[in-house]
Amino acid sequence: MKQAKELLGEYGLRKTKCRLDILDLFLSHQQALAHADIEQVLGDRYDRVTIYRTLYSFKEQGLLHSINDISGAVKFALCQEACSQHQHYDNHIHFSCTQCGQTFCLNEVHIPAMTLPAGYSVHNLHFSAEGICKACNARE
Ligand SMILES: [Zn+2]
Ligand SMILES: [Zn+2]
Ligand SMILES: [Zn+2]
């Protein structure tokens, strides 16, 4: 697993404390995180605008991708290596657990290629699954 410092360096981003703390949070969680989740942990150190800006700049830089999950909240998750600035290649499925409410990237499950009618071009493809996650299933 990569370190936050290493990642910021790779993406040519300044290593501010806020960026490091937010990245650390993503690196230590398996599930996607909403702004509110981050604020809960780091809210006493950084104001919401700073957190918001950091998340969106990470998205711009190809470090994080956003997910619209069943809760209606926008969540963020770390991108795989293939993503770069302004160009995301996150063609995996997102899994939302109806029991714990968490969303996970299923990086190994790719969205099947599809053929669209002439005249349409795709910029983003969202594919999500709902059900019970691994952790919740193990708890039963
Ligand atoms: Zn991405
Ligand atoms: Zn679950
Ligand atoms: Zn994802």
Closest listed ligand to the CA of 64: 1
Q: Which ligand is nearest to the CA of 130?
A: 2
Q: What is the C-alpha separation between 86 and 31, in angstroms, rounded?
A: 23
Per-chain mean pLDDT for the chain: 91
Could you say which ligand is closest to the alpha carbon of residue 100? 2
CA of 84 to the centre of ligand 1 (A): 7
Structural domain spans, the chain:
4-139
In angstroms, rounded to a whole number, what is the distance separating the alpha carbons of residues 8 and 67?
Answer: 22
Ligand 2 centroid to residue 86 C-alpha, Å? 31
The answer on pLDDT for 1 being more than 70 is: no
CA 63 – ligand 1 centroid, Å: 6
Residue 19 banded pLDDT, cuts 50, 70, 90: very high
Residues 62 and 90: their CA atoms lie apart, in Å, by 10
Give the distance (Å) from ligand 2 centre to CA of residue 96. 8
One-letter amino acid for residue 92 of the chain: H
Better-scored residue on pLDDT, 46 or 90? 46
Predicted confidence (pLDDT) per residue in 60-71, tens digit: 999 999 998 777
Q: Count CA atoms within 13 Å of residue 51 on its CB side.
A: 20
Let me know if 41 is exposed, middle or buried by CB neighbors in 10 A (0-12, 13-18, 19+): middle
Give the separation between CA 71 and CA 130, rounded to whole angstroms: 11
Q: Specify the pairing of strand 92-97 against strand 64-68.
A: unpaired
Tokens matching residue 105: 């990237």
Q: Tell me the per-residue pLDDT of 103-112, one tens digit each, with 9 for 90 and over.
A: 999 999 988 8
Classify domain 4-139 by CATH number. 1.10.10.10
CA of 133 to the centre of ligand 2 (A): 4
Give the pLDDT of residue 51.
97
